[in-house]
Structure 1
Amino acid sequence: MVMESVYGDRNHEDVEGRGKLLRRIIEETRNKNGTLLIPAFSLQRTQTLLFEINKMVEDKEIQPIDVYLDTPLGIRILDIYRKYPEHFNDRIKSRLDAGDDPFDFSGLTLTPKSSESRKIVREKNPKIIIAGSGMSHGGRIRAHEIEFLGDKKTTLLFVGYQSVGSLGRRLQDGQKRTRIDDEWVTVRADIRSITGYSAHKEMDQLIDFVEQTAPSLKEVFVVMGEPKSSLFLTQRLRDFLGVNAIAPESGASYFIDW
């Protein structure tokens, strides 16, 4: 077996837990009249965030706040979601049948054009900006980071894995001065993370997955993770399941006995 280990050394918040964290951060942003920046992957992550914020607004779990969906690709993918409602689960279908769009709510503004994106900075009300890319490699989030990271009232919230070397990872690790495009930015914003939105399996789920076929496994190669994560999961698999787990070294060769 060859398996990933992005979160091989830790577990996520559950759905309820991640929602509580997001709700708390939104309320903090509103209370300090600040800006919440969320770098988000255009597919799935963006739509999940909209769905959960929609629920918070409609259930009056949060006070009204402006939300800008500032990702052209994310907006196009959202259109695809709406075009094929037959693929939603029954709970979402029932809401659609009742005329409730789970991705639309009071305060939401879509900004597909760059001219619309540039106008967001003029808005002085508390606001949420969801933009790509998810690791701040590129996309419109970088312009917003240049604009808002120097403000103590800003919160930068990561809802996905940040790879080593990415701008997102440097910010997540606490870098206080960084270069974004051609500008140096002093970071005064509050940097937060919620891992519960990640599509990568958490530690317990990875172990459970291996356990299902453990009796028939000869070897488990633990890859696609940072060294500490891969090594931790490798040892866990050995200790808990008694399987021959290996964290391959770069450039090493292994003989696989079929």
Structure 2
Amino acid sequence: MQVHFHGAAGEVTGSLHEVHAAGRRILLDCGMIQGSPEAERRNFDPFGFEPTALDALVISHAHIDHIGRVPLLVRRGFRGPIYAQAATAELMRIMLLDAASISESEAERSNRRRGDGEPEALPLYTRDDVEASLRQVRPLAYDARETILPGVDIAFREAGHILGSSAVELWAEGRKLVFSGDIGPKGTPILRDPAPIDAADLVLMESTYGDRLHKDRAETILELGRVLDAAWNDGGNVLIPAFAVGRSQELLYWFAKYWDEWQLARWRIFLDSPMAAKVVGVYDRHTALFDEDALRVWQERPNPFRLPNLQFSETAEQSMAINRIERGAIVIAGSGMANAGRILHHFKHNLGKPQTRVVFVGYQAEGTVGRRLVDGAQWVRIHGRDVRALAQRHTIGGLSAHTDQRGLIEWYGNIAGHPPLALVHGEDKAREALAGEIGERYGVEVALARPGMTLQV
């Protein structure tokens, strides 16, 4: 068995790992590269392998940096089955149709500004491409070992990152490969904790936060409450860039749980994302995947998805109307890294106001508007115009959907025999720190995956 690394090997996004086993070729994830415009243009590049030669695609979870190039893969000739956990399979439709819509809109906007002699801008893929790719999806349950190709078995294990997120176990040729996908912290609201992996011959593990420890969750929740209280006293609005899957639902969970303590009845709360509103429906259909605490909140508090002052903004007109509110609005909008979507329109109207609070609750990739704001930029470029950033900013690290260095070490440490390890899905600073800690603790040599690298299992 061989593993060939193509993406998320030295960076966080663009998950793309190819496995050769039992005479077959299996792709693990097919994610979009996210970040700067220069980085995102690489999504149009060739994959580094021939899509028609692949036999199957296995998806770890439904975030765009893990599924965002699936329709492109199919358009370029892949015709095999696409395996995903059942909730992930539902979320893929929502996420990919939204990504196609954004890509089509951006191409249309570029073509309107196109000068004489400039080439026509094309979307990465279309909604028709998405529909074609979804016909190849095969949903599977957690914890069921399935034969997907002659001589190749897989199983999905709970990863605790978002609904349906999975670590992938793959057996072939008498060997076992484990791909962590993205691993969530223990105690993440709504979701069950990551399932332990008993054994492996090679582990591919994410390393997004391999160089840091998250704030204590209880301290984090207190901080979020203080930010909301200060924002109310300042007379401004609160803007929260959040991924449509995961962070948006978790925020509503905390709003329900601390409804009285945070005096949330005084606010107007907007989930300004048609995609996030659809995702709520998927959560409603998969409550069997919830942990016990979440089921208790659903029974004892206002339903997080039906708070009395929660408004779902479906249309562009509803979204634009929010910007006429001068104070008292909490706006949760995509995208989570503020590199596209409706949050940018809210930034244009609110970043210049010192009473505005911007709350970051997830990873901000290099080159994104979100990362520049986190790093203290006084000006950011949005839709071709420079916007002054006077708003107060808060990074609530304890709400991350990724576990931290301690959690990654613990997850790997529970695997019997401490097998060979390759770190993916992390910037070098984070990977080097994590590799050093694991190497010192377990005496194992840790590989830092690079595009073009091959490992033998």
Q: TM-score when scaled to structure 1?
A: 0.90
Deviation by residue 1:14-48 (Cα, 9 ceiling, x = unmatched): 33222111111111110101111100000121111
Residue from 247, 261, 265 that aligns with 1:60: 261
Equivalent position amino acid for 1:61 in 2: W
Partner of 1:229: 430
Pairwise CA RMSD: 2.1
Paired position in structure 2 for 1:184:
386
What does 1:112-191 correspond to in 2, within 5 Å?
A: 112-191=314-393
Is the 2:269–2:310 contact (alpha carbons within 8 Å) kept by the matching residues of 1?
yes
Which consecutive unaligned segments of at least 5 residues does structure 1 have? none
2:415 counterpart SS class = helix
Instruction: Indicate whether 1:247 and 2:448 are aligned.
Output: yes
Q: Secondary structure at the match of 2:258?
A: helix
Contact 1:23 1:62 in 2 (8 A): no
Q: Which residue of 2 aligns with 1:18?
A: 220
CA distance in structure 1 between the aligned counterparts of 2:443 and 2:298, rounded to whole angstroms: 48
What is the CA–CA distance in structure 2 between the aligned matches of 1:56 and 1:115, rounded to whole Å?
31
Residues 98-133 of structure 1 deviation map (CA, whole Å, 9 limit, x = unaligned) = 694232324322211111111111122322110011
Letter paired with 1:239:
E
User: What do the CA deviations read for 1:204-235 (whole angstroms, capped 9, x no partner)?
Assistant: 01111221226241x21122111111111011
Tell me if the contact between 1:54 and 1:104 (Cα under 8 Å) persists in the aligned partners.
Answer: no
Q: CA deviation at 1:92?
A: 4.2
C-alpha change, 1:212 and 1:27, in structure 2 (3 Å) is same
- State the distance in 2 between where 1:82 and 1:37 align: 25
Quick one: percent identity of the two aligned structures? 32
Deviation per residue, 1:185-220 (Å, 9 max, x gap): 011111211122222121001111221226241x21
Question: What amino acid sits opposite 1:141 in the alignment?
Answer: I
CA distance in structure 2 between the aligned counterparts of 1:245 and 1:225, rounded to whole angstroms:
14
Task: Return the letter of the residue paired with 1:126.
Answer: G
Which one scores higher on RCO, CA 8 angstroms, separation ≥ 6?
Answer: 1
- Is the 8 Å Cα contact of residues 133 and 141 (structure 1) preserved in structure 2? yes
Q: Distance in 2 between matches of 1:32 and 1:98?
A: 32
Pairwise CA distance, 1:247: 2.1
* Aligned equivalents of 2:418, 2:294: Cα separation in 1: 39
SS in 2 for 1:215: coil
What is the rounded CA distance, in whole Å, between the counterparts of 2:413 and 2:431 in structure 1? Answer: 17
Q: Which residue of 2 aligns with 1:78?
A: 280
Give the Cα–Cα distance (whole angstroms) in 1 for the partners of residues 423 and 351 of structure 2: 36
For residues 277 and 447 of structure 2, the distance between their equivalents in structure 1, rounded to whole angstroms, comes to 42
Provide, for residues 61-93 of structure 1, a one-character-per-residue CA deviation record: whole Å limited to 9, x for no partner: 335222111111101111332345454444444
SS of aligned partner of 2:363: coil
Distance 1:97 1:24 in 2: 26
**Residue aligned with 2:225, SS:** helix
> Retained in 2: the 8 A contact 1:66–1:128?
yes
Residues 1:91 and 1:229: Cα distance change in structure 2 (over 3 Å): closer
Structure 1 CA distance, aligned partners of 2:205 and 2:355?
41
Q: Distance in 2 between matches of 1:233 and 1:174?
A: 27
For residue 35 of structure 1, the aligned residue among 216, 219, 237 is 237
Distance 1:151 1:235, change over 3 A: same
**Where does residue 271 of structure 2 map in the other structure?**
69
What is the total number of aligned residue pairs between the two structures? 254
Which letter does structure 2 place at the counterpart of 1:238?
Answer: G
Distance 1:191 1:60, change over 3 A: closer
CA distance in 2 between partners of 1:207 and 1:255 (Å): 21
Please say if 1:200 is aligned against 2:402. yes
Q: How has the CA–CA distance of structure 1 residues 216 and 10 changed in structure 2, closer, same or farther, with 3 Å as cutoff?
A: closer
Question: Corresponding residue for 1:46?
Answer: 248
Distance 2:206 2:290 in 1: 28
CA change 1:79–1:206 in 2 (3 A) is same
Q: 1-side partners of 2:348 and 2:446: how far apart?
A: 44
Q: Which residue of 2 aligns with 1:108?
A: 310
TM-score, normalisation: structure 2: 0.52
Q: Check the 8 A contact 2:273/2:314 in 1, yes or no.
A: yes
Partner AA of 2:330 in structure 1: I
Give the secondary-structure state (helix, strand or coil) at the position aligned to 1:123. coil
Change (3 A) 1:51 1:211: same
Which amino acid in the other structure matches residue 261 of structure 2? Answer: K
Measure, in 2, the Cα distance between the counterparts of 1:34 and 1:185.
18
Cα distance change on mapping 1:173 and 1:239 into 2, 3 Å: same
Higher helix share: 1
Change (3 A) 1:202 1:125: same
